[in-house]
Structure 1
Amino acid sequence: MYIARDWKDYEVLDTGGGEKLERWGDILLRRPDPQIIWPLQKETPAWRDVHGHYHRSSSGGGQWEMKKPIPENWTLEYGKLKFHLRPTNFKHTGLFPEQAANWSWMMDKIASVKRPISVLNLFAYTGGATVAAASAGASVVHVDAAKGMVQWAKENLQLSGLGDRPVRFITDDVFKFVQREQRRGSKYDAIIMDPPSYGRGPGGEMWKLEQSLFPFLESCMSILSDKPLFLLINSYTTGISPTVLENMLAMTMKPRYGGRLTSGEIGLPITASGLNLPCGILGRWEA
């Protein structure tokens, strides 16, 4: 498991009973997590003394119960990187802290080569990977279909003092964008993708990860440069093994470029128990 251990501003304090207790800077939040199927060992006062508690609805979705006032948004730091946070209607805060394990990896990869690196970040959300890659010296194209998420990513880049870096923010359907890049002959040295489990394209096209990921990955091969640096796939789709992602990279990247493949779970340390909380999976190809 790849563990994001280097946080100072973020912490999973405790877990149990289908929930996690988290510290986001000075803000304590209590949120549900489907991986936490073990009971809570001891309900400490911190579980009740939270700023916000997200309750799932039996009919789907859910809502926040705010117990203490919090700012409209606040800032979290990871090394030199800074991110705006705010609770969303879908229980998230705009950041997935476990992804710091990937940020550190890609920053090291980019900084280790003595040539310009162009990165394409697909399904890029609020830009954690975009900010990390830009901070390491890469030029980045950030693509997400949600206008609000792209604006949020722009804020994070500025907040990190990287507003002058060569980053293009594109609000567009990811699949259509890749097709246009193919026609333009555009090339990238690294691709990051965090595809959804389900979704619909602008023409009503159905995306289901199990059926759509491999052909989409194949389509991305034509926009890689002759000397790519890495390709990273993240997934939060339940039931998919990390080996599935590694196998896909073995069938696409390995025959063309050689290199090294790795895969595994990604997670966060739990302070109270010393255990690790699984948060998703990844597959990596690197030169």
Structure 2
Amino acid sequence: MRMATDWQDYELIDTGGGEKLERWGKVILRRPDPQIIWPLTRETHEWKNADGHYFRSSSGGGQWQFKKDLPERWTIGYGPLKFHIRPTNFKHTGLFPEQAVNWSWMMDRIRNAGRPIRVLNLFAYTGGATVAAASAGAEVCHVDAAKGMVQWAKENAQLSGLDSAPIRYITDDVFKFVQREQRRGRQYEAIIMDPPSYGRGPNGEMWKLEENLYPFLESCRTILSDKPLFVLVNSYTTGLSPTVLRNLLHMAIGRKFGGKLDCGEIGLPITASGLTLPCGIYGRWESED
């Protein structure tokens, strides 16, 4: 497992009873997590007095309850990268801190490439990977179907001092966008994707990971340059094995370009217990040179 251990502004304080207690800057939030099936050892003062607590509803969804007035959003940093944090009505905060382990990896690859790198970030959400890649000197194309998430990504780039960085923001269905890039003859040295288990595009297009991921990877292969640098796939789909992801990347990318594969879990250290919270899987293909 690869661990995101370099945070200063984020901490996974404790876990148990289906919930996690986290510090986002100076704000303490308490949220449910389906992976946490072990009991809570002790509900401390910090648990009881979290600034915000997300409660699930028996009818679906849920809502936040706050102990005090919080700003609508606030900022945290990961090295030179800055991000707006905001508790949303679907329990998320706009950032997945475990992805920092991938940000550091891709920034290192881009900086050491010794050549211009064009990055395509698909299902790009609020732009954590976009900001990381642009900060390392890449030209980035950021694509997400949700207009609000694309705007959030722009704000994160501005926070990180990347207003004038070569970032192109696209609100579109990612499958259709890749097909158009094929017709245009555009190519990229690196592709990042964080596909959902299920999803809908802006015009009702359906996405189902088990059915669509492999053909989508094949489509992405056609827009890789002759000297690709890396392909990174993240997944939070329950039950999907890192070995399955390795097989998909080998068949779709490795058989043409060679290179090497690294697939596994990512996670976060839990301060109170010393345990680890698993937070999905990753698959990395990268060139040998």
**The residue matched to 1:169 in structure 2 has which SS?**
strand
Determine if the alignment matches structure 1 residue 95 to structure 2 residue 90: no
What residue in structure 2 maps to residue 236 of structure 1?
236
Alpha-carbon distance in 2 for matches of 1:200, 1:136: 31
Give unmatched runs, 5+ long, in structure 2.
none
Name the residue aligned to 1:33: 33
Alignment of 1:89-238 (within 5 A): 89-238=89-238
Matching residue's letter, 1:81: L
* 1:260 to 2:234 alignment: no
User: In angstroms, what is the RMSD of aligned CA positions?
Assistant: 0.8
What runs of 5+ residues in structure 1 fail to find an aligned partner?
A: none
CA–CA distance in 1 between the matches of 2:143 and 2:10? 26
User: 3-state SS of the aligned residue for 2:221?
Assistant: helix
The range that moved more, 117-126 or 194-203, is 194-203
Counterpart residue identity of residue 23, structure 1: R
Q: Deviations over 1:28-87 (max 9, x none)?
A: 000000000000011111001111000011121111011111111100000010001111
1:191-242 CA distances to partner (integer Å, 9 max, x unpaired)? Answer: 0000110123455443111111111111111100000000000001101011
1:50–1:68: 8 Å Cα contact kept in structure 2?
Answer: no
Q: CA deviation at 1:15?
A: 0.1
Partners in 2 of 1:159 and 1:206 — Cα distance? 33
Whole-angstrom distance in 2 between the partners of 1:206 and 1:177: 14
Aligned to 1:5: 5
**How far 1:164 moved relative to its partner?**
1.1
* SS at structure 2 position matched to 1:223: coil
Q: How does 1:9-20 map to 2 (within 5 A)?
A: 9-20=9-20
Q: Distance in 2 between matches of 1:37 and 1:192?
A: 31
CA distance in 2, matches of 1:202, 1:44: 44
Residues 1-27 of structure 1, C-alpha deviations (whole Å, 9 max, x = no match): 110000000000000000000000000
Instruction: Give percent identity, aligned residues only.
Output: 76
Query: Paired residue for 1:245?
Result: 245
**Contact conserved, 1:237 with 1:280, CA < 8 A, in 2?**
yes
Aligned residues of 2:172 and 2:202 also touching (Cα < 8 A): no
Counterpart of 2:158 in structure 1: which amino acid? Q
CA distance in 1, matches of 2:107, 2:201: 31
Q: TM-score, normalised by structure 1?
A: 0.99
Paired with 1:136 and 1:203, the residues of 2 have a C-alpha distance of 34
Whether the 8 Å contact between 2:173 and 2:205 is mirrored in structure 1 is no
Deviations 1:112-164 (A, max 9, x none): 11100000000000000000000000000000011110000000000001111
